[in-house]
Amino acid sequence: MSNQEPVLIAGAGPTGLTLACTLLQHGVECRVIDRRGGPASEPKALILWSGALEVLRRIDVADCLTKRALPLAGASYWSNGKRAGQVRFGSLAGTAFPRPLCVPQSITEASLYSRLRKLGGDVEWNTTLVGVELTGGATASVSATLSAPGSTPFSSMSPRWLVGADGSHSKVREAAGIAFEGSTYARDFLLGDGEISGDLPKDEAQYHLTPEGVLVVVPLPGGGHRIFFDRDATGEVSPLSDDDLQALLTARGPDGWKIRRTSWRSTFRVHTKVASAFRSGPLFLAGDAAHCHSPAGGQGLNTGVQDAFNLGWKLAAVQHGADPALLDSYEVERRPAALRALRNSDRQTQLWMLRAGPKRVLRDTALRLASASGALDRKMVPELAQLDPGLESSPAVPGRLSAGGAAGEAGARVDKKSTLRPGGRLPDAGWHPLSGTSTWSLHELLAAGRHTLLVVAAGAGSADAERTAQETADMVGRSPVADQADVVLVTGLRPAGVWDDSVPVARVVETGQSLVSLAAQGPVVIYVRPDGAVGAWSSHHDLTALASGVSVLTAPAGRAA
């Protein structure tokens, strides 16, 4: 392959593959290397939550995974042989994925790799990142040295950006001199996937919390279960035998559970660490290279996938001419998300590790009360699902923009409970498509993972609505993301006459009032980022402020009108 690709991705796990697919969908070539000989065959991570599934839907992988996954109905916590608490899944609103899916990481990687190849990309397997050299100061450049079959002895390239998706022992992180801060549990974690006889759960995860340690049981798609234990650290890294796993299962699980056979076993230590920075000049970190978690709650892979999409569309926009300052928002947005996920998984792990005494009694009581009141469902599930982007403080979500710079001049109503919040998700809205789109709702449209400009007008066919749609389309046509953006005119009534089909605008009629109610004082233009978060909005009269306030809408040098 050429050494001229703008992005070199080290690592072809779920994070690296998601990043590569995102870049290619946004029209940017990349080079992906991995020291392994091919996609993972080990099942490893199992759970995909709503936030990650929405990302995978944007790169056209979610449907494939859904067909091969097992939806989980809930999770239960057991102590002294009795159920102490229960969480039910399926009540998450505003998403096409209200339940987490159980699907082995090997299937996730295979699906992502297949999608990458359909997009025209590939992975250079058996290729190792031998060295990384940064030169220059504020405008640093990077040179990467690679070792691959047939190279004599090494090859080098100088990408515009290098992304380390190369795991917890990241060479990219090491080259950048970025600290990996955190700790390691003084426990070994042991697991086995296989066939187990007895009255095991069919569609829920179970946590059996005993004084000796935890037993986690998760049903697998296609049959079988994963069993997972902790024990005092011994330094032994070899997987336990089936007999050893059975001894732990007998000690901690219900009577009658018997291991028939296992197809995969593993022993590992758990680290809870996060990189002190996610970027150093042209070097970026994502996934396990940036953060690693306890397996509790299945947060690691999910967080990495969302890292990848966030970074991918931003790198693509800058490559197409957007202000490079957009890349500064990657760490601002994703490091806090990683810290939240780490705290969630660490909190659950600490819950497992209470052995005896008053703290154990207090835990069991708290679980019963929180389960009975529904607080466990309301608090825990949204945190694990990672649906709320929490981007209010990001420089990439300026919110209301107006020519005068004063709040309240942009036409739309907004407050803390508004449907329109900087960095928040727009609630779904149903509509009837008229032209330019075949989607029947806002979220279905946003599932394409493109930049979206919603031109919202309460009426239909008004001069203001038509003019705003035309001017918005012209603005997008001059922008760096012209080929990766959609303009949609949303009205409350079907136009009585005909419209100009030469204007590149999709037209829909909203069936409710959630969007059109925002335009009571005149047309409002809402910029929605590829990740579905509200970036900014303005009135018709403030389109210039919108364009100048959102870097992806600012015409690059040489293309300004």
Taking alpha carbons only, the member of 353, 343, 100, 87 closest to residue 215 is 353
Structure token digits, residue 420:
């329109």
Give the pairing of strands 101-102 and 47-48.
antiparallel
Taking alpha carbons only, the member of 234, 260, 295, 253 closest to residue 43 is 295
| Predicted local confidence at residue 1, as pLDDT | 43
Residues in the chain: 561
C-beta separation of 75 from 206 below 8 A: yes
Q: What is the 3-state secondary structure (H, E, C) of 450-461?
A: CEEEEEECCCCC
The DSSP code for 54 is H
Q: What values do phi and psi take at 512, rounded to 5? A: -120, -150
| Predicted local confidence at residue 26, as pLDDT | 98
Displacement of CA 558 from its chain's centroid (Å): 35
Side by side, which strands form the sheet with 180-197? Answer: 82-88, 74-79, 204-210, 213-219, 225-232, 180-197, 258-275, 291-292
Burial call 30-50: b when 16+ CB within 10 Å, e when fewer: bbbbbbeeebbeebbbbbbbb
| Predicted local confidence at residue 137, as pLDDT | 63
| Predicted local confidence at residue 409, as pLDDT | 39
Map out the domains of the chain with their CATH numbers. Answer: 7-70+99-180+274-353+374-385 (3.50.50.60), 399-553 (3.40.30.10)
In tens digits, what is the pLDDT along the chain, a chain of 561 residues?
Answer: 445 579 999 999 999 999 999 999 999 999 999 999 999 899 999 999 999 999 999 999 999 999 999 999 999 999 999 999 999 999 898 899 999 999 999 999 999 999 999 999 999 999 999 999 988 765 789 999 999 887 667 889 999 999 999 999 999 999 999 999 998 888 889 999 999 999 999 999 999 999 989 999 999 999 999 999 998 888 778 899 999 999 999 999 999 999 999 999 999 888 899 999 999 999 999 999 999 988 888 899 999 999 999 999 999 999 999 999 999 999 999 999 999 999 988 888 888 888 778 889 999 999 999 999 999 899 999 999 999 888 988 999 999 998 765 443 334 444 445 678 999 999 999 999 999 999 999 999 999 999 999 999 987 667 788 889 999 999 999 999 999 999 999 999 887 766 777 789 999 999 988 999 999 888 999 999 999 999 999 987 889 999 999 999 998 865 543
Q: What values do phi and psi take at 319, rounded to 5? A: -60, -30
pTM of the full structure: 0.94
Separation of first and last alpha carbons in the chain: 37
Evaluate the omega torsion of the peptide bond into residue 153 and state whether it is cis, within 30 degrees of 0: yes
Structure token digits, residue 379:
């608090």
| Predicted local confidence at residue 269, as pLDDT | 85
| Predicted local confidence at residue 500, as pLDDT | 73
